[in-house]
Structure 1
Amino acid sequence: METAVRSSAAVTEQAQFAAWLAGQVTGALLDEVMLAPKPGLVDPRHRGAHSDMHWQLLSRSAHALRPGFQAMALAAYRQPAGSALRERIGALGREAEAAMLAATGGINTHRGAIWALGLLAVAAAQAPDELTPAAIAARAGSLARMPDRLAPEHTGHPGERACRRYGVGGARGQAQAGFPHVLGQGLPTLRGARAQGATEHAARLDALLAIMATLDDTCVLSRGGPEALQALQAGARRTLTHGCATLAGRRELRRLDRELLSRHISPGGAADLLAASLLLDRISRA
Structure 2
Amino acid sequence: MNKEKQFFSQYAARAAVLSLIEEVELTPKPGLVDSANTGSHSDLTIHLMRKSAESLKETFKEMASVSYGISPSQTLREEIAEIGRKGERIMYEVTGGINTHKGAIWALGLLVSAAAMGKGSYTIGKIVTMAGETARFPDRYCPIVKTNGGRVAIKYGVNGAKGEAQQDFPHIMRFSLPILKRARSQGRSEGDAQLHALLALIAHLDDTCILHRGGAEALSFAKNQAATVLNSGNFSKLKNLNDEFTRRNISPGGSADLLAATLFLDKIQANKAVNEFRKEYEYIH
Give the TM-score taking structure 1 as reference length.
0.92
In the TM superposition, what whole-angstrom CA distance separates every residue of 1:155-180 from its partner, at most 9, and x where no partner exists? Answer: 22211111111111100010000011
1:20-169 matches, within 5 Å, as 20-77=11-68, 80-128=71-119, 130-153=121-144, 155-169=145-159
Q: 1:267 is matched with which residue?
A: 252
Give CA deviations for 1:86-138 in whole Å, capped at 9, x if unaligned: 00000000000000001111100000000000000000000125332111111
Give the aligned partner of residue 219 of structure 2: 229
Query: Does 2:173 match 1:173?
Result: no
Mapped partners of 2:55, 2:116: distance in 1: 20
Task: Please list every run of 5 or more consecutive structure 2 residues that lacks an aligned counterpart in the other structure.
Answer: 272-285
Q: Distance in 2 between matches of 1:115 and 1:179?
A: 12
Q: Which residue of 2 aligns with 1:215?
A: 205
Identical positions, percent: 46
Do structure 1's residue 255 and structure 2's residue 240 form an aligned pair? yes
Q: Deviations over 1:231-286 (max 9, x none)?
A: 0000010001122xxxxx12332232121111011000000000000000011113
Counterpart in the other structure of 2:6: 15
* Residues in 2 aligned to 1:77 and 1:230: alpha-carbon distance in whole angstroms: 41
Quickly say closer, same or farther: Cα 1:167–1:38, change in 2 above 3 A.
Answer: same
Q: Retained in 1: the 8 A contact 2:70–2:117?
A: no
Q: Following TM superposition, by how much is the alpha carbon of 1:58 offset from its aligned partner in structure 2, in angstroms?
A: 0.4
Greater shift, 72-81 or 50-59, is seen at: 72-81
Aligned partners of 2:59 and 2:83 also within 8 Å: yes
Classify 1:129/1:156 alpha carbon distance in 2 versus 1 (closer, same or farther; 3 Å). Answer: closer
Tell me which of 187, 194, 199 is aligned to 2:184.
194
Supply the distance in 2 between the matched residues of 1:102 and 1:131 (Cα, whole angstroms).
Answer: 34
User: What are the superposed Cα offsets for residues 184-228 of structure 1, whole Å, 9 maximum, x if unpaired?
Assistant: 111111000011111111000010000100100000000000000
> For the structure 1 residues 85 and 225, does the alpha-carbon distance in structure 2 shift closer, same or farther, using more than 3 Å as the test?
same
Conserved? CA contact 1:130–1:136, under 8 Å = no
Unaligned runs of 5+ in 1: 1-7, 244-248
- From the superposition, tell whether residues 48 and 211 of structure 1 become closer, same or farther in structure 2 (CA, over 3 Å): same
What's the counterpart of residue 282 of structure 2?
none
Amino acid in the other structure paired with 2:87? A
Cα RMSD over matched residues? 1.2
> Are positions 1:283 and 2:274 aligned together?
no
What amino acid is the match of 1:226?
A
Distance (whole Å) between structure 2 residues aligned to residue 112 and residue 148 of structure 1: 16
Distance 2:129 2:121 in 1: 11
